[in-house]
Amino acid sequence: MNAERRRYLLAFVLCSVLGVLGGLTMADLRGGDPEARPRFLPPREQARDFRLTDQDGKKISLADARGDVVVLTWIYATCWDLCPAEAAEIVQAMDRVRDDGVTFYIVSVDPVGDVPKRVRKWLAVRDLLDRPVHYLMGSREELAPVWEAYGIVPVNASDEEAAAAAKAADEFRAQAAKDGLDLASRPYDRPERPGPPPPALEENPDTRDLTYRGRTRHAAGVEFEHSAYTLLIDRRGVQRLGIPFERLDPATLAQDLEVLLDEPAK
């Protein structure tokens, strides 16, 4: 097995399961309480670079943010539960630290539904158009190498299902706007579905199949489940800390960001 393949497999395992306890320092975060810090530590190496198109039509690479702390996560704009909650918690953490030192990269996991008009509206609802936020989109062919590099399982819906979901989400949000509903601040409630199928209980289940995750995350159904974690990349471009969605917390994330902001850029 070559080195590239080994590195991918390691990243995939780390990003696909909730595991390894870790943190930026032994006791800097949450007073050293290990139960409060179930994170994962990715390989301590340069984060894999990529270049995708953001909401303004600009080609943006990960290297463009060198010198800033990067918060990298994975979202689709027609999601109405987990993704908005994840983004809100990250933005709340950014609000607690010096904003000019942190860049927020969102990479799409839905190449069908995530188109510039819809993404810009998603960002506008959250007052993020004038913030250091890049929502990165592309075709499936453009996004697939990025997903693979970071061990991401995208939404598994067919193009037809994703297009129908996007249309339904547009209609839902239009009606919500008429009704004066603030969708950007809705609390996240984990959906309840039947328990995991028998293969999920195997010793080594196929982690790429998110129907086997056992813990549902998206109300839209198993076809719209996707990897949901946040990766922190330091000012030198080195990947440092992975945070599963279930362990994401604005206060603790702000502490993580402060630790990385205090480190030298070179």
Query: Is 218 exposed, middle or buried (CB count within 10 Å of its CB: 0-12, 13-18, 19+)?
Result: buried
pLDDT-derived band at 17, boundaries 50, 70, 90: very low
Tokens of 209: 């199949």
Query: Is 2 exposed, middle or buried (CB count within 10 Å of its CB: 0-12, 13-18, 19+)?
Result: exposed
pLDDT confidence of residue 38 = 66
Among 48-62, 91-105, 146-160, 213-227, top mean pLDDT goes to 48-62
Query: What is the tens place of the pLDDT at every residue in 75-90?
Result: 999 988 889 999 999 9
Q: If you average pLDDT over every residue of the chain, what do you get?
A: 82
The angle subtended at Cα 120 by Cα 188 and Cα 222, nearest 5°, is: 40
- Among the ranges given (31-40, 42-51, 92-101, 214-223), the one the predictor scored with the smallest mean pLDDT: 31-40
Angle between helices 82-96 and 250-261 (to 10 degrees): 50
Domains of the chain: 3-261 (3.40.30.10)
CA distances from 157 to 96, 106, 225, 228 (A): 36, 20, 9, 16
pLDDT confidence of residue 34 = 41
Whether pLDDT at 22 is above 60: no
More confident residue, 27 or 165: 165
Determine the residue type at 150: Y
Determine the residue type at 48: R
More confident residue, 165 or 10: 165
Tokens of 218: 């998206």
pLDDT confidence of residue 209 = 67
Query: What is the tens place of the pLDDT at every residue in 38-59?
Result: 678 899 999 999 999 999 999 9
**Percentage above 70 pLDDT, the chain:** 77
Query: What is the tens place of the pLDDT at every residue in 148-190?
Result: 999 998 998 999 999 999 998 888 888 888 888 777 777 777 7
Determine the residue type at 203: E
Please report the sign of the dihedral spanned by the C-alpha atoms of residue 237, residue 86, residue 261, residue 120.
positive
